[in-house]
Structure 1
């Protein structure tokens, strides 16, 4: 079925985005109290991803959004670099092919100082996943695809339904909602706030955001240019065409380029965003021969914030409602997708009655430290791009000088450490050796057919996949371990051939990647969670140990 979104129109006020009809719920017409098991507030990237994740697991949610479009009306491309983990999530949700077809796939990045390349990388050289390293795509397209997918899955998005009050309780959360037909009330078992950095729910609950504002200022220029075709990430630390300040350059869909220009400390952001000023800046960048059209221009600054807790009773905070970080390294939108990826399967198991409610505590235990790490990483980039003292400026110059002469100096150049899955440590559901994320690796079944990890987990449903490496010859533990799980339990064990000489294994690891990442040997066992994270590793595994680790990884029974 060819249902790709066409190129959007460009207008003087920005992108021309789709509009959806306001939804009038029955409760608004009848004045009755509505009951729901789960309400997701916010139809942006994080909220839509979470809703789609749950829908593919057979869990319906009420989705409320106070607007009637995707992206931000009249605004820019916003998020646009989607990393491999996000692509793996979207592949599971059924829209990665659309993203790749519409966007720009890339793996090469170059960092320049003046005219010199001082650092470069090629993520394709180390790629072991089914998905490419990166795809550049304007955020509204991804949200658009998610809306289409949710419609295919039968989910209802209530456009122009605004939450105006929240009352948390021990057994439910009460939301007051305004619609075009009047107000109504929903009582929900659980609520997820995915309304973004300006969350009114968070403010109403009086939660501290621990916010910090950075003085650095930038100007985005989304530029349509058909004369260029460079599907790479280029960043300048001190671009000669931008007064010796930083510049980012990314190619996106529709021949639109995302150009970010660092402004002088004393620049007036509104003046910098005037069309004539922006056009002159782009002309200086591209040279006199390249034709271009300004699509959108706007200044931006960045701040950081992170909640003290991502869970407050029956309310969860995800995406920018939970954390905000500078955009360096594309960690903002990708982090929100990973929040949804982490929370979705846990909510699904709890709502299906297959896991204890305290499984949900692991969301905060895993995703809050991840947000803190992302803030630390992006803050270091900010200091490199905008040194705050003479010492920092000198240190950066020394680093750039070293990078021109010595290979080790290149690794010190920091224009954005690109998004990778965070490692989880202090989590109640992780066993020994767990907490790292597997790529979507290719295995083979007993007939030699390729099976990706995500597909194997999809066949299982919502649960953990256990992989046992049998000892060659007689293995007294094999029969007991390989029979664990199934029959409605949220986990299942398969035997894995890593070349150890065991026969009749259900799966094999032809590339040796799982064996390498988990350092597996005969007799070992590894648990793979629904989000492709390692739930734990057992050396010289026993049936009792395997069952306990799998149950722990999905909150089956007490998690603490």
Structure 2
């Protein structure tokens, strides 16, 4: 009987894993609790190595055609404007895609779902919420809540890619170590063209300020602006029209009110699962590690998990590879989650919100100096684009 891998969650991590496995001839079933494919509006940045990986399936060119190629990223000051600009073309020779792609995450989901539909041994079950997990030496079984009741499914392995509140992780009793920031993050999408008013604005901008920093990201049809919110503000207060307008008007005053297309408020965490593997169950993506979005490393790191893990499962299930490869996955990706993804995103937040004037001045001077020297700028971009993190993972045996 052919091998069968179960996957909890039909986000990019679960779907990339499914496509990798299906391409190798392995039966795969993806369970998604939502009744439609997720259209998550949070992630919108694809880093160069992620684009390199997706090119394996011919997906990168399709994504690029639907997004914006961001050659430059900027560090800005809310009052003083541009601090430093980094040219990602310095990464030529390090990657096949020396740029960041600004493209909504749901577009990747759709491409992956369309591609999976070509494989008769791959299926996606919508409206199916994985609730609990059990396993023995030879298989894993999941309990799934569907419209017709609770059903059980059995497979050789289970990938838990069911998000930050992962039922798979919780069912196994795996600790999710770390902390939650007191403030929530507000993302507002508007069709107003900020680039007509901020000189030389790039598609990716980290704007520091001691009172209210922000991140300004361009996607094909909209600008997305991320603001921190005060723990003293209720969710209802943050999401009112007056509150949204005040934040946008403080960023750029104008006579007319801003039109907003989306507004999303969410809690932000820095957490890493104590274990990424328990027997035949393996965690990936947000189920294994979550971080603040400053740097765009969450979804990208999850996709990197998916390729690392699913390639190892292919070797185990089709080429007689040792299941111990899954322990190497845990060693590799957990180290990266702690040493690179969580460490860098936490540092990014600290930098952008710094209130001490002298520390702010020193940091901005350092950024200017790095951007002015190509070798230093390249090192900086290797780190921020996650190339260093992948090399670190590969070095772990």
Distance in 2 of aligned mates of 1:279 and 1:87: 36
Contact 1:303-1:324 at 8 Å conserved across structures: yes
2:362 aligned to which of 396, 399, 402: 399
Q: How many residues align?
A: 383
Which residue, 99, 116, 125 being the options, matches 2:81?
A: 116
Aligned counterparts of 1:225 and 1:286: Cα–Cα separation in 2 = 11
Q: How far apart are 1:292 and its partner, in Å?
A: 5.0
Deviations along 1:204-262, one digit per CA (max 9) or x if unpaired, are: 22111113112233321011236747552122101xxxx84211111102x21111123
Q: Determine the structure 2 residue equivalent to 1:234.
A: 205
Asked if 1:262 is matched to 2:224, the reply is: no
1:527-538 aligned within 5 A: none
Q: Deviations over 1:100-155 (max 9, x none)?
A: 11111102111122223222201113322322421111122221121111113342
Distance 1:363 1:328, change over 3 A: same
Q: What secondary structure sits across from 1:328 in the alignment? A: coil
Q: For 1:169, which of 130, 133, 136 is the aligned residue?
A: 136
Cα offset, 1:267, TM superposition: 4.1
1:395, 1:70 → 2: CA distance?
48
Is 2:186–2:226's contact at 8 Å kept on the other side of the alignment? yes
Q: 2:44 aligns with which of 53, 60, 80?
A: 80
Structure 1: state its 5+ residue gaps: 1-33, 425-434, 438-532, 536-552, 554-560
Matches of 1:293 and 1:58 in 2, distance apart?
Answer: 48
Pairwise CA RMSD of aligned residues?
3.0
Q: Which residue in 1 is equivalent to 2:5?
A: 38
1:272 matched to 2:243:
no
Q: In structure 1, how many angstroms separate the alpha carbons of the residues matched to 2:154 and 2:62?
A: 36
Cα distance in 1 between the residues matched to 2:9 and 2:2: 19
Structure with greater helix share of residues: 2
Measure, in 2, the Cα distance between the counterparts of 1:187 and 1:346: 20
- Could you tell which deviates more after superposition, 78-87 or 299-308? 299-308
Mapped contact 2:2–2:26 kept (Cα < 8 A): no
1:208 matched residue in structure 2:
175
Q: What are the residue-to-residue correspondences of 1:354-373 with 2, within 5 Å?
A: 354-373=320-339
Structure 2 residue runs of 5 or longer lacking an equivalent are none
Q: Matches of residues 99-138 of structure 1 in structure 2 within 5 Å? A: 99-113=63-77, 114-128=79-93, 129-138=95-104
Q: Which has the higher contact order (CA 8 A, sep 6+)?
A: 2
1:158 and 2:125 matched: yes
State whether residues 45 and 337 of structure 1, in contact with CA within 8 Å, keep that contact through their aligned partners in structure 2.
Answer: yes
**Higher Cα Rg: structure 1 or 2?**
1
Q: Secondary structure at the match of 2:155?
A: strand
The 1-side partners of 2:43 and 2:228 are apart by 17
* Separation (CA, whole Å) in 2 of partners of 1:280 and 1:69: 34
Distance 1:385 1:43 in 2: 33
Tell me what 2:191 maps to: 224
TM-score by structure 1 length?
A: 0.63
1:97 corresponds to 2:68: no
User: Counterparts in 2 of 1:315-334, with a 5 A limit?
Assistant: 315-334=281-300
